[in-house]
Amino acid sequence: MKLQSTPFFAFLLLLGTPLLAQDAPPPVVLEEEETNKSFQLTGYVDAYYQANFTNSVGEDAMPLVFGSSFTDFSNTFGIGNVNLLAEHSFGKVSFVGQIGFGPRAVAANSDSNLDVGGTNFASTVQQLYVTYSPTEAITFTLGNFGTFIGYEVIDAPANMNYSMSYLFSNGPFYHTGAKVDVALAEGIGAMIGVFNDTDSKFDAIAGKHIGGQLSAEAGGLAAYLNAIYGKEQEGFLDDGTADLNEFQVDLTATLDVSESFMLGLNASSYSTSADGAGQGGFVGTALYATVAATETFDLSLRSEYFAQTAAEGVDGDQPSVLALTASGNFTVGGLRIIPELRFDTGSNGFTFGEEASDDSAFAFLLAGVYAF
């Protein structure tokens, strides 16, 4: 409304000039305020088809699906979500509000589904936070925001592969709490925060998580070292006397080799412990390569190794998987068409479905992601 009414108020101020003091601010001040104020609404929709070519073993053999997020149904058309993100800033303060409707939104933010009268409207708050930057080097954030851990994110337009990695699927999706980002020097930054239990908008567990990040950028290289620690479960042991604590350290890096070739890395280690004894977790590494072949076509390759780790005192090799993904990205305006081939091969009883199997899973996906 203020943008529409500015000429009218400026006209009144011109008429009333003789009545104003000589040092009264001229109308241009209103224009300066407007230039410091901004609102933006963006979003996306996504849908896909997945064809699964391998089956599990046994009489009730079923198509094998990948154990990663958002594409866990076989031989079917599927939808992701319609997602809207509103941003508003005014001077040193701003807010972000993001909401999604659909299976992808529910899977990523399941504890905020809208349930009215027994009807689930499959809507979720994905992000909702406010920021304050007293200086250019410091930003305080309060609310619910996407995780700082990992390479891939919930929003499909930001990923070059449509199917998700195991590291993304097993790592946190978001945090609710407060954090402060500090620019320590040119190209060097740090973040520290206090959060509820991971992937929880309302903390049901006493105690908070502590997380932090160190970042560095130089030339075409950017690297982020992340860590988070906190209580995952109360009364974990049989006697109910010990809590289960979790700790994750994560490294993400990108390298722009040239204007048309980029490399990426995500390495992560997650562990749990109770009463000083390790209770297992996972380790994994994912490598990414993206080639911009033309102005409208990119080719992205992802190679990932993911393995579970055993609890203290448990011998034997743990389940692991090697996942290889090749994705094309055809761009037509705001639409990205993604044909994708993915091959996962497991070992030591890695589970692709309800029954453990050493079989490999192979599938073709065709996704459409429209961002606006």
> pLDDT tens digits, residue range 99-144?
999 999 989 987 554 444 554 444 588 999 999 999 999 999 999 9
Q: Which of 42, 156, 52 is nearest to 103 (CA)?
A: 156
In this structure, the strands spanning 138-146 and 209-218 are unpaired
Please answer whether residues 252 and 233 qualify as being in contact, where contact means their C-beta atoms are separated by less than 8 angstroms: no
> pLDDT tens digits, residue range 77-105?
999 999 999 999 999 999 999 999 999 99
Q: Which run of H or of E encompasses 368?
A: strand 360-371
Q: Is the pTM of this model over 0.75?
A: yes
> pLDDT tens digits, residue range 253-268?
999 999 999 999 999 9
Those residues with Cβ within 8 angstroms of residue 11's Cβ, 6 or more apart along the chain or in another chain: none
Please answer whether residues 340 and 71 qualify as being in contact, where contact means their C-beta atoms are separated by less than 8 angstroms: no
CATH 2.40.160.10 correct for 41-75+125-371: yes
> pLDDT tens digits, residue range 45-55?
999 999 999 88
Q: What share of the chain is helix, strand, coil (3-state, %, to 5)?
A: 10, 55, 30
Place of tokens 């849908």: 47
Give dist(CA 306, CA 167) in Å, integer: 7
